[in-house]
């Protein structure tokens, strides 16, 4: 039984499976935010990361670059395929091991049910909250060095509680279709 951190693409696949069961359509932009929220919740609850790798501060919020690349071919359209791994010896595609830890499955289910029906613009608004991890790194980059715009886990753990949902009907960021790194 694996405790974590998990391959972020496997967690993303689990999220997509849960979203499909709930009748929720997910784009890559929305998936990035859902993955980030699940990771942040896990860090706050257990002080251990949900996924391996890292998140970066991109234009429309936190993005896990490896997971973004895995689903990039979907563009702004709903994701219909699942991420696959690559066998390091043969180079052939292989199915990713889906986590079966009951706590992880429940966390993913809770995040998809709580945030999955929010529009991408609302998810961006939520990820851009003042003093949140994304905001902190973007602000820091204006006056200091923020290598690769990475959002370290300790920053996520310390600042995740700043995420709040605004009460208006229209997202402040509009409805973005696809994310890009800051230039």
Q: Is residue 124 part of a domain?
A: yes
| Cα gap 133→89, rounded to integer Å | 37
Give which of 116, 97, 98 is closest to 38, Cα–Cα. 116
Domain annotation covers residue 171:
no
**Total domain count, the chain:** 1
Range of the domain at 39: 8-85+94-162
Higher model confidence: residue 131 or residue 175?
Answer: 131
Does pLDDT of 11 surpass 90? yes
Establish if 170 belongs to a structural domain: no
Across 52-69, average pLDDT: 96
pLDDT band at 54, cuts 50/70/90? very high
Average pLDDT over residues 109-114: 96
3-state helix, strand, coil in the chain (%, to 5): 50, 10, 40
- Is 39 contained in some domain? yes
In a domain, residue 156? The reply is yes
Does the residue 181 lie in any domain?
no
Where does residue 178 rank: exposed (0-12), middle (13-18), buried (19+ CB within 10 A)?
middle
């Amino acid at each position: 039984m694996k405790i974590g951190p998990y391959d972020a693409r496997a967690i993303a696949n689990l999220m997509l499976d849960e979203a499909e069961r709930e009748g929720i359509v997910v784009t890559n932009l929305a998936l990035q935010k859902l993955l980030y929220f699940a990771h942040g919740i896990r860090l706050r609850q257990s002080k251990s990361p949900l996924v391996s790798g890292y998140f970066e501060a991109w234009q429309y919020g936190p993005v896990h670059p490896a997971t973004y690349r895995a689903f990039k071919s979907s563009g702004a359209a709903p994701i219909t395929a699942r991420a696959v791994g690559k066998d390091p010896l043969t180079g052939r595609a292989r199915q990713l091991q889906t986590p079966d830890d009951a706590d992880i499955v429940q966390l993913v289910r809770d995040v998809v049910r709580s945030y999955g029906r929010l529009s991408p613009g609302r998810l961006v608004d939520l990820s851009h909250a003042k003093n949140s991890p994304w905001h902190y790194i973007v602000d820091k980059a204006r006056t200091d060095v923020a290598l690769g715009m990475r959002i370290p886990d300790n920053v996520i753990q310390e600042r995740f509680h700043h995420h709040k949902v605004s009460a208006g009907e229209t997202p402040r960021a509009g409805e973005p279709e696809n994310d890009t790194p800051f230039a």
